[in-house]
Structure 1
Amino acid sequence: MEKITMEQIDAVKTRANVGYKEAKEVLEKFGGDVVAAILYLENENKTKTDIKEDSSRYYTKGKGVIKRLNEIEIKVYKKEKIALNIPASLAIVSTVFAPHITIGGLVVSIFTGYKIKIENLKDKESQINQVLYNASTKANEFAQKATDEITKL
């Protein structure tokens, strides 16, 4: 059996991101062949990703998502005038932390004749806005019928 050197252990440890013990064991299994040891660890999914690398990647993706959400605007209209204009990120945060207020406000606004429009969504904008428009129109019709029925009493 070939003697395993510290340089070999360091090479496997660094490249496969494993501990000294695991690097030494796999090197012993492959007779000191560093490449075979690293390939074995990769094939067995025993390599570990660098935490700094992962966190950096997630941070970058998260930053991109927040930037995109800040570009998307949720506008609430009353008779073609903007009553409220907020970024989607704020709408999401308010829904998470105060869902009863956000959803309640949404329902009340729809039933009182306000229209909701989402802008800067690229290709999905027209589909979502059509659904919101239809929901608002049906809610307004329902609210009007309910009001008419109540006034008849």
Structure 2
Amino acid sequence: MDQEETLDKIDLLRQRMGVGYTEAKKILDKKDGDVIAALVELERDQKVKKTLNNKVHTIFKKGSATRLKIKKDGRQVAEIPVAVGIAGILGSVVYKPLAIAGAIGTLSAIANRYTLEVEKPSSEDEPKSRLDIDSCK
């Protein structure tokens, strides 16, 4: 396959699938210049990415609406979206000082008898989930 023919195939893939030159060239090489096979694989990959993106968006949306409430003696001390809590957990996996700070905070909460409530936006009939940190000793 000469360069002009390859460039035409790459342009076709870019036009039809909205990919860059690098991705079009890579998939075309992988499929030995077969444009139809390249189109099929790119379409499959885009569907997978779209499905994954939709799932992540749904999880983030639910996590933003669900709230973590930290209370002491029935008085609310803090409230954060679950998504922020998850981001903190993921951050602590990557950054060790954050993990240490989280562990110290958790131990302090247990020692001082704080409670953690998870409030999901749902029908009024459903009870709130409640975790008494003191009972985890």
Given the two structures, how large is their TM-score scaled by the length of structure 2? Answer: 0.56
Match in the other structure for 2:60: 66
Relative contact order (C-alpha < 8 Å, sep 6+): which is higher?
Answer: 2
Task: Report the Cα distance in structure 2 between the residues aligned to 1:106 and 1:63, rounded to whole angstroms.
Answer: 29
Task: Report the Cα distance in structure 1 between the residues aligned to 2:111 and 2:53, rounded to whole angstroms.
Answer: 40
More strand per residue: 1 or 2?
Answer: 2
Task: Report the Cα distance in structure 1 between the residues aligned to 2:48 and 2:127, rounded to whole angstroms.
Answer: 31
Given the two structures, how large is their TM-score scaled by the length of structure 1? Answer: 0.51
Deviation at 1:57, TM superposition (A): 1.6
Report sequence identity in percent: 14
1:120 aligns with 2:126: no
More helix per residue: 1 or 2?
Answer: 1
Max radius of gyration: which structure? 1
**Cα deviation 1:58-108 (Å, max 9, x = unaligned):** 111111110011111111101111101001111111122122222321221
Residues 33-112 of structure 1: pairs in structure 2 closer than 5 A: 48=41, 50=43, 51-97=45-91, 98-112=98-112
Q: Unpaired segments of 5 or more residues in structure 2?
A: 1-27, 92-97
Deviation at 1:22, TM superposition (A): 9.6
Q: Unpaired segments of 5 or more residues in structure 1?
A: 1-17, 25-46, 140-153
